[in-house]
Amino acid sequence: MTLNQEVVAKELIYRIALNLIPKIGNKTAFELLNHFGSAEAVFEQSNPADLHQVPKVGKAMAQQILDKSTLQKATEEWAFTQKYNIKVLPKESEDYPKRLRNCPDAPFLLYYKGNTNLNAAKVVAIVGTRKPSSQGKLFCERLVQDLAVYNPLIVSGL
């Protein structure tokens, strides 16, 4: 891993940590990144009052940012992504899907697996629940099978 790759990996771990904190959505994450300059800088804060300068960052959220276990969990998640060849893509990346980037609530991180062009012409997004019914699973399987002949990029999420 080159020095630049190590720097990027380190920043991604900090961004994963932000993503793990309940109630830090995309908007708050971007506000934290803009205010402090990087996700690493967010977690380097030692004074909750500095974190409170960012809108929506209250006492509980500041405590979770200051809690070192959050960063440990993010490091474990990063190791998992590396083990299973899952890519973590920040919104600033040139590989980030252009159509998604223009959405006002675009996620600040995307996870994807495989070698694909996320800006493909034919894209189908499938969004569902963590606990689909058996009927929902069957419908989704049939839909994907029917779409396969068109060779689309299939994106799934919650």
Give me the domain span that covers residue 132. Answer: 123-157
- pLDDT one-digit tens code per residue, 50-86: 999 999 999 999 999 999 999 999 999 999 999 999 9
What's the pTM value of the predicted model, to 2 decimals? 0.80
- pLDDT one-digit tens code per residue, 86-131: 999 999 898 899 988 989 888 999 998 887 888 889 988 888 888 8
CATH number for the domain that contains residue 67: 3.40.50.450
Q: Do 9 and 69 reside in the same domain of the chain?
A: yes
Residue 118 lies in a domain: no
Pinpoint the alpha helices (H) of the chain.
Answer: 3-20, 26-36, 39-43, 48-51, 59-66, 68-83, 98-101, 134-148
In this structure, what DSSP letter does residue 113 have? E
Q: Report the candidate in 11, 6, 14, 8 with the shortest Cα–Cα distance to residue 68.
A: 14
Biggest CA–CA distance in the chain, Å, is: 56
The label of the residue with tokens 């904190």 reads: 21
For residue 3, what pLDDT band results from cuts at 50, 70 and 90?
A: low
CA gap 50, 46 in Å, rounded = 8
For residue 154, what pLDDT band results from cuts at 50, 70 and 90?
A: confident
Q: Do 145 and 89 reside in the same domain of the chain?
A: no
Q: Do 68 and 146 reside in the same domain of the chain?
A: no
Residue 62 lies in a domain: yes
- pLDDT one-digit tens code per residue, 22-37: 889 999 999 999 999 9
- Number of domains present in the structure of the chain: 2
Residue 90 in 3-state DSSP? Answer: strand
Residue 139 lies in a domain: yes
Q: Do 60 and 8 reside in the same domain of the chain?
A: yes
For residue 1, what pLDDT band results from cuts at 50, 70 and 90?
A: low
